[in-house]
Amino acid sequence: MKVKEKVWTYRDYLGLNDDKRYEVINGRLYEMPAPHFEHQKVSGLIEFLLRGFVYKNKLGEIVDAPFDIILSETVVVQPDIVFISNDNLKNIKSGKLFGPPDLIVEVVSPSSYRRDRYEKFEIYEKAGIKEYWLVYPGEKAIEVWVLKEGKYELYGIASGKGKVKSKVLKGFEVDLKEVFNES
């Protein structure tokens, strides 16, 4: 939901004090409605799998929303799940990440469909985020986009059944049936 007409910056964002969740995307302020049960369940399951893999292999940290990532003066996002490699942990200051994480997962909902699939897609591509997972609970589908020469390429996709693999987290794969309800 777009909120107010002006060019919002990171500073303006910090000045907000009403306990709501917002993102700033290219200078526009969006309020983030509380996610639905199905969204949270799918997001939680993926996070559980990611965290198990990342911790076991001591690769870095996994965090979930709401957690601020400042990508520029006019872009502040709260992705659903974020992987920050050991090398990038130094960019966490005052509890926020300044700069791109290594991998982002967004679980799409009707109200975020456009933002996740197109707006954030471009933002993450431009910010140099190496891998972007788009999860569609309704279609029981997962897409894995990997940066190649500055552009996202579809590295893996599965819908209904099957598995997807990560490139950034070598050896990590998700079987759709671990994440979505059996139909």
Interface residues toward other proteins, by CB under 8 A: 108-114, 118, 136-141, 154, 157-161, 183
CB of 152 to other proteins, least distance (A): 13
CB of 158 to other proteins, least distance (A): 8
Cβ proximity to other proteins, 52 vs 160, nearer residue: 160
Cβ proximity to other proteins, 17 vs 37, nearer residue: 37
Cβ proximity to other proteins, 100 vs 156, nearer residue: 156
CB of 172 to other proteins, least distance (A): 21
Cβ proximity to other proteins, 120 vs 140, nearer residue: 140
- Phi/psi region, residue 50 (left: phi>0; alpha: psi -120 to 50; beta: rest), is alpha
CB of 168 to other proteins, least distance (A): 22
Q: In what order do the strands lie in the sheet with 103-107?
A: 60-64, 81-85, 103-107, 131-136, 141-148, 151-159
Cβ proximity to other proteins, 66 vs 138, nearer residue: 138
First-to-last C-alpha distance (Å) of the chain: 32
Long-range contacts from 61-70, C-beta under 8 angstroms, 24+ separation = 61/89, 65/21, 66/21, 66/32, 67/96, 67/97, 68/95, 68/96, 68/97, 69/96, 69/97, 69/100, 69/101, 70/10, 70/96, 70/97, 70/98, 70/99
CB of 88 to other proteins, least distance (A): 31
